[in-house]
Structure formats: structure tokens, C-alpha cells
Amino acid sequence: MPSRQPTTKSTPCSSKRFSSLAVGVQPDRQFCTQTKKTITMNRTQLFIPLVALITNACSGAAPVHVWSGTSVPVTSSVIPYTPAAPCTGTFIPHLLTHTTTVQTPVRLFASNGSGVATGDVNNDGLPDIVLANISGAATLAINGGDFRFLEQPLDLPNARAVQIVDVNGDGFADISATHQGAGISVLLNNNTPTNPSFRRLQATFGSARTYSMLWHDFNDDQLLDLVTGSYDAEAPRGGSQSVFDAQANGVTLHTQTADGRFTQTRLSDHANALSITALDIDGDGRDDIVVGNDFDTRDMVWLHHGADWVPVQPFVSTPHSTMSYDLADLDRDGAPELLAADMNPYDTSVQTLAQWLPVTSRMTQYHPADDPQLMENAILQRGADNRWHNLSRTVAATSTGWSWSTRFGDLDNDGYVDMYAVNGMIAQELFPFLPDHALVERNQALRYDGRRYAPAPQWDLDAIASGRGMAMTDLNADGQLDIVVNNLQAPSVVYQNALCAGAALTVSLRQAGANPQAIGAQLRLTSGDITRWGTITTTRGYLSGDLPAVHFGLGAEAPTFLTIRWPDGALSTIDTLPATGHLVIERSAP
């Protein structure tokens, strides 16, 4: 593939402190009766966001508040997108050889499968793929361009969750994985781009059992910390503690120190954690820890208050069994919504409901009518009461099947965030009456029009291969999100996005120090009277992760300016933006 040279320009910023609108601080409960507030902001940020501020505050949503911080200068460069292939209006599947295979008959917990991650391990500008395998070797698929991948085994046996993340901050992406009934593995990149190789990190993560994980800088020291969650349901009934040590269960924060070691803080002594995310729950400007649990275990939230972690329950309702988390800005107000996926049949035919009945009966038989845990997807939005309310019924997104990884992403670049869920279940204990003990369901693509989600079967994303982990990343640098699915008992698949899509802007960040890709940074992209939110993360969905970049579908709305809140709270604004392309922003050294 020919190299694509960026065009570079300098974007100076003043050294004074400034504020820009964002969701964040504690709501002003007097706002609807006291709208004459003085807000300091950049010249182009005044009128339209203020209208949104008043509208949101008086309609029940949390009012939009200010980010405040010291302005830091940046430089930016634009990498043009590669020309897209002729559009077909569909996604085109490309089979990989990697197959996550377990013993048959498939038993419960083996049926949970494994995740997938995308990231650039050889720094050639193209995202590569790592596919975990619960009962065998993981696979590293090097991206050769044009949807050609060189697959090779990776020394991560029996892996569940996987992420591609620069753990030691040397500018090369490392690989992290969790393992069934065991701990964490980290493969450090040997920085050999022509032939990627890795070595094991000789760090200890204590005795914590791990199923899901999240890498994030929680103490603003530029070192990535780690949150892990156990899956206690896997513990053998009456089993030996030497097999599954109860003292190692729960949720643990592993704080990285300057010497590359990790110190442990146990937040909970129990968990059935299928997904973990970082999100500013209370609007104080610091990211909190959110853990999604299976098997009717309440989802867990810890607020970050100084050096303390305070458990709270901010969600008015949650799924019965949270399968995965994702974040996006549905209503384009500059604030995130939290997608928590659950199991609920999208097909209500008699035949389908009969297949589900033994499971749904077991899950709901002991629950009162006012139970806050509902067996359906939740889309949670922070309200003016500082609690998080469920919008999934309002936007018609409650039921996507036996969903594992469910993700937000603007798949057609029309400016609205769509949804994709990979489905299916295989378990002898749950479905002894079905062929191969398999609940066969189609993956669900839902298109969003700004009001409601609607099925999009025309996109050809309705496979029945029992998907588990899933990633959304632009694999060929054409500005459209492609999809990778790690199936169970079937080959993994890359879906090439060939929709006839609109314009997009991809944003990556660079900074000096041990967090060079600025994981934890937040972005707000304003286009006229619309403001979109995004965050830099390597953790998304079920046991999976993406390249640390933000993809904004634009539709017909040209971008006006971009505000960046860096992980340490500093702010940068760019008010000259390309109409489309990959924008790389580098924070100037102090």
C-alpha cells in the first residue's frame, strides 16, 4: 500500500485558563428558574451550546456544564482517507482461519467464548487484530491492507478478554489478556515492526482472578492502571479453594507505579463481571469505575473521590445480566450515554419464545414487579437528578437477542450512532432440547435516525455463527467502521464496510510521557448546533477492545471546532478542521 503523508499545521493556543461546554459537574438544581448564568467560553462556543444547556436542564436531562482547565497548545496533521471501494450498500464478509473451539458437548461457561482486539502492533498505520481463544492459542492477524491478514499463533493460551494497549508507554502497542480461572498476561512489544514479537511482562498482579479488564489512568500520573473483575459463577460448586480461591474473587484496582509494578486495591469480594468501563458518573470531572455483572448480580459503581473509591448505585434500572458495555453520544448533546446489553429475544414468535422459556422462567421467577434489574438492554443517560435513567424503550433498543458484545458505532456515517449485537448461545445445560444444544440467532444491526432504532437487514450483518467478542475499527483507512467478530465453534469474520456512506472524521491523540495515546481523553466535536462526544479507550464491548481513536460520522454536517479534554484535565481547542480524514493531534511538550 502506498504511504500516505500527513499535511501539518500548527494550532496555537493561549496559556490562559478557559472553559468549554461539556457534561460534567454537579447539576444546578435551580437552573430552570435561574437561567441568567454567566458562562465563560470560546467565541465560537457561545450561543448554540447555551440553547442546549437550557433545553436539557429543563427537559429532565442533566444540564450541560463546563469543562474547565488550563489551555495547552497542540499541533495537528491530517492523513487523507484512502479512496473507498465501490459501495454495495452492504458489509462484505472475509473469513479468517482463527476459530475459538471448545469441547463438545459445549458446557456452560465454556460457551462464553472469547474476545477480540484491534490495534497497530507494528506502527504501520493499519490496525491489526488479536483473537483470543478460551481453549487454545490466540491469533495475531497482521493487517496487510485490502483485507488481507497474515495470521500467526500468539503465546496467550486459553485467553478470554484481550486488549491491544501500550502498557509501558514506549510508543509500541502491547497485548494484554485474561485467562479462565487465572490471572493477567501482558506481552510487551519488542519494537520489531517488520516481524512483530513480544516478551512477557514480569509484573505481578496479585492473586486476583480475572475475567474482564479495563486499562485506564485513574490517578493522573500518566501510568495506565488496570481494573479486573472475576466471574464467580465459574467456581465449582463445593470445589476446592486451591482450584478457585475465593480470596481472589471480586473487583480489583491495580495501580501502576513508576517502576512498572502494580499495587492492588480490592474494591469488592465478589463479581460476575462480564464488562468494565470508565465513566464520569457524578459529573465531578473524574472518571469512575463501572462493572457490569452477569447472573442477577447488581452492576457496581465506585466514585473516584480523591484517594478513595466510594460504592454507589446511580442507575434507576439496569439489565438483569449485563453482558457488555459501550459508550456513545446518542442525542448529540456533548454527553455520553451508557449501553448495557442483556439477553432478550428480538423475535416474539411462538417457536422462539418456546426456546427461550426455560431460561427466562429461571431468571425472572423470584423478581418482584418493581425490580430495577430488567431482562433487556439498557441505554442509560444521566438526568437532572444526577441519577442515570433508561432510554432503551424510548429508542426501541430493548431486545437484540442473546447478545454478547453489543456496540455503538456510526456505521453509515450519517451522523447518528447505530448499534450492532452479536448473538447466539450453546450450552448443554440450558438447551438440551435443541439440536447441538444451540440457540441459533441472527446478529442484529440497528440503524438510528435520531429518534428510534430500526433493524437494518439490508446491511447483511445478520450472521448466525454464534458471535462472542466483537471490535469496530476502520481497518482500511477509508473512513468507514469495519467489524471483526470472534465466533464460537465457527471461523472468525472480518466484515468490510461497503455501505454508501457519508463523511467522517477520525481523531487520534499523541502526547509525551507514559500514556502516549492519551487513553482517557474526551473529545467534543461541534458541527453547527450539534456537539458529539467521544473518548479514547482500548476497552469496549464484551471482552474486547478497539484501536484508541474516535470515529465521528458527520452526515451532511461539516465540523466546526473540536475540544479535547486531556487525561490530566488540560484543554485544547482546534477551530480549523478538515471536512474529512484522519486528524492526528499532538500535545506540545511543556
Same domain, 568 and 501: no
* Residue 342 within any structural domain of the chain: yes
Same domain, 439 and 521: no
Same domain, 240 and 341: yes
Same domain, 246 and 304: yes
* 3-class secondary-structure state, position 32: helix
Cα distances (Å, whole numbers) of residue 539 to 54, 205, 227, 295: 33, 19, 11, 22
Determine the structural domain holding residue 514 and report its residue range.
506-587
Same domain, 249 and 380: yes
Mean of the per-residue pLDDT values of the chain: 88
* Residue 498 within any structural domain of the chain: yes
Checking if the pLDDT of 27 tops 60, the result is: no
In sequence order, what are the beta bridge partners of 581?
505
* Residue 175 within any structural domain of the chain: yes
Q: What is the pLDDT of residue 286?
A: 93
Q: How far apart are CA 258 and CA 166, in angstroms?
A: 15
- Of 505, 531, 566, the last residue of a domain is 505
Checking if the pLDDT of 384 tops 50, the result is: yes
Same domain, 472 and 425: yes
Q: What is the pLDDT of residue 203?
A: 75
Q: What is the pLDDT of residue 393?
A: 97
Same domain, 438 and 535: no
Q: Number of folded domains in the chain?
A: 2
Q: What is the pLDDT of residue 64?
A: 60
Same domain, 137 and 161: yes
pTM: 0.89
Checking if the pLDDT of 24 tops 80, the result is: no
Same domain, 376 and 261: yes
* 3-class secondary-structure state, position 311: strand
* Residue 39 within any structural domain of the chain: no
Cα distances (Å, whole numbers) of residue 507 to 80, 125, 517, 528, 564: 12, 13, 11, 19, 10
Residue 53 C-alpha from the chain's centroid: 27
* Residue 277 within any structural domain of the chain: yes
Q: What is the pLDDT of residue 567?
A: 96
- Of 455, 486, 505, the last residue of a domain is 505
Q: Considering only CA atoms, which of 383, 213, 374, 379 is closest in space to residue 281?
A: 383
* Residue 61 within any structural domain of the chain: no
Which CATH number fits the domain that encloses residue 524? 2.60.40
* Residue 484 within any structural domain of the chain: yes
Same domain, 458 and 563: no
Alpha carbons within 13 angstroms on the beta-carbon side of residue 472 total: 31
Range of weakest confidence among 16-20, 252-256, 326-330, 486-490: 16-20
* Residue 154 within any structural domain of the chain: yes
Q: How far apart are CA 344 and CA 403, in angstroms?
A: 8
Same domain, 93 and 168: yes
pLDDT digits (tens, 9 = 90+) for 229-242: 999 998 765 544 44
Which CATH number fits the domain that encloses residue 195? 2.130.10.10
Looking at residues 207-213, what average pLDDT do you find? 90
Same domain, 261 and 333: yes
